[in-house]
Copies of this chain bind each other. A is one copy, B any other.
Amino acid sequence: MSSLQHVNPRVRGIRAPPHSRLQRLGALKPFVKVIDVSSGDPHRAGMKPITFVRQVLAVCLLPQLLEENSLPLDVRLRARRLLEACDGGSVGSYTASSGMLHVRQSIAEFITRRDVGVPSYAEDIFISAGFQRALMVVMKLLARGQEETQTGVLTPMPCPHTLPALLDEAGVTLVPHQLMEGRGWAVDLDELHRALKTARGRCEPRAIYISNPGNPTGHVQDWKSIEEVIQFAAAERLLLLVDEVYQDSVYGHGREFISYKRVLFEMDEEYLETVQLVSFHSLSSAQVGECGLRAGYMELVNIDPEVMHFVETMLCTDISTPVTGQLALDIMVNPPKPGDLSFDTYTREILLSRATLSQNAQRAQEFLNDLPGMSCQPAMGGIYLYPRLHLPSEIIEKAKILEVEAGVLYCQMLLEEKGVFLGSGIFYFLQR
């Protein structure tokens, strides 16, 4: 039988993400266990779930708990409201392909509060089974052309480690723009212009991807930097794709999270009515960290109604977002308020989570900077640090003799001798 022997040649080109390749490698080496720290998974790393989120979800799954007096009244009231929003009153029913309207409304209200009154509308919010599914929908809409007419997306280096594979699968060209390590991995305007100029003729740049707070850099942009990027996108007619997943986790001294949308809406009319912006957020963010429940959303700003229709159509043919994830999104964006029974516990947990993140980032950065050959910029937000490794001269010499790249040799030796596998972040680092 040979019907599946010769797989799709395009599929042959897909490389498994590092953690999968590692499982295979790990099996060949005398190591006891593979500990995967590549996925940015707060609960796996020991962070505790937010009690209010879990209590409400438990009641939604088992509605007999609505009568359970040992659970706070606001938990049960919230669960009742969410169950009323589910078809058939059950989390076991499918939802509309863009997500539950009730949850989309909660998200729009959250964004309006967050952006100090800038209006947000439920019909511009699209819920998906994780932020990457939403991003893929937009990428598939953007993708067109071949070679020099293929869609290009300006992408920061370093970038989220899953992004290059996603762009490749969508059929768009990655146009790298280098972040400025010396300035804490800031976005640099001259570098954006340089990257764009180099790309033209090679592909057709149609969008720019920004991660703020930065994954994996920990950089948090200020108002001025965001404004510059918006002006650049406007001048070059680029769609702005902003990963704002770590918006709840800014701890850098004097920094706060400012959304691209908020900045855009304080700019002149020529910008605020024309710049096309898609902002992404996720349930897998640092504070709630419910990666396993799978939900995220995007807000579309200044996008043509006809394009919005295609977004909806594509979500229809995609996976319907898990209902438990959608309900958790609702709780994430609409947590207990002052005066609610669960407010104190919720606030204590959020503050603890923020303090833990901030302290861990500080300690890890100090530790890295104390290591010989390592240096690391401080993080201002998010859950990643991005250190620089200065290769030892013996490695560089040895690599010359063996005629291999020094970085590759170093990584191989680190894996074989110490059992530490460096993933794609470092991979980009070495490529420079």
Contact = CB atoms under 8 A, between A and B. Distances in A.
A302 B314 CA distance: 34
Contacts of A17: 316-317
A431 interface: no
Q: For the complex formed by this chain, how many copies does it contain in all?
A: 2
B141 A95 contact: no
A320 interface: yes
A28 interface: no
Contacts of A46: 88
Given A142-B8, A302-B1, A292 B129 contact: no
A94 B322 contact: no
A141 B4 contact: yes
A20 to B, nearest CB: 5
B293 A49 contact: no
Nearest to A62: B58
Contacts of A88: 41, 43-46
B44 A11 contact: no
Interface string A145-172: 0000000000000000000011001000
A62 to B, nearest CB: 4
B92 A292 contact: yes
Interface string A230-247: 000010011100000000
A1 B49 CA distance: 42
Interface in A95-135: 95-97, 129-130, 132-133
Given A4-B239, A93-B291, 16 more contacts: A1-B275, A3-B276, A4-B141, A8-B140, A14-B317, A15-B313, A16-B313, A41-B94, A54-B62, A57-B61, A90-B292, A92-B290, A92-B291, A130-B319, A293-B322, A293-B324
18 contacts: A1-B274, A2-B237, A4-B206, A4-B276, A9-B144, A11-B314, A20-B313, A23-B96, A41-B94, A44-B88, A54-B62, A61-B324, A91-B292, A94-B292, A130-B319, A291-B320, A292-B320, A292-B322
